[in-house]
Amino acid sequence: MSFSGFDDIPQWDAPTPSTGDIVTTAIKKDKVIKEITAAQEDLRAMLAKAKNVQGDIDKLASGNETLQMYIDNLTMQMAKRRGQ
């Protein structure tokens, strides 16, 4: 069964983009990819800085523990001397 005139109607597919649309879309995608890559590099740099700061904090905490032990030992020695 054939309907005259209905065979000429285009299919219900996605419209095919014109060449300008393809180029514009590719440029936009490329720009987004570059922005994402730049953001990733920034995050890597921030992570490296955070790791360095954490290392410094760990060193200082260790140094503080050592100093506290030294202070405690001196305090005990002074208390012993006063008690004699």
What's the full length of the chain, in residues?
84
C-alpha distances in angstroms, 65 versus 2, 7, 54, 70, 82?
Answer: 92, 87, 16, 9, 26
Per residue in 28-67, pLDDT (tens digit) is 999 999 999 999 999 999 999 999 999 999 999 999 999 9
Q: Among the residues of 1-84, which ranges form H helices?
A: 19-83
> Residue 26 has which token pair?
């590719």
Name the 3-class secondary structure at 84. Answer: coil
Q: Which pTM does this prediction carry? A: 0.57
* Cβ neighbours of residue 25 closer than 8 Å, sequence gap 6 or more: 17
- High-pLDDT (> 90) share of the chain, %: 65
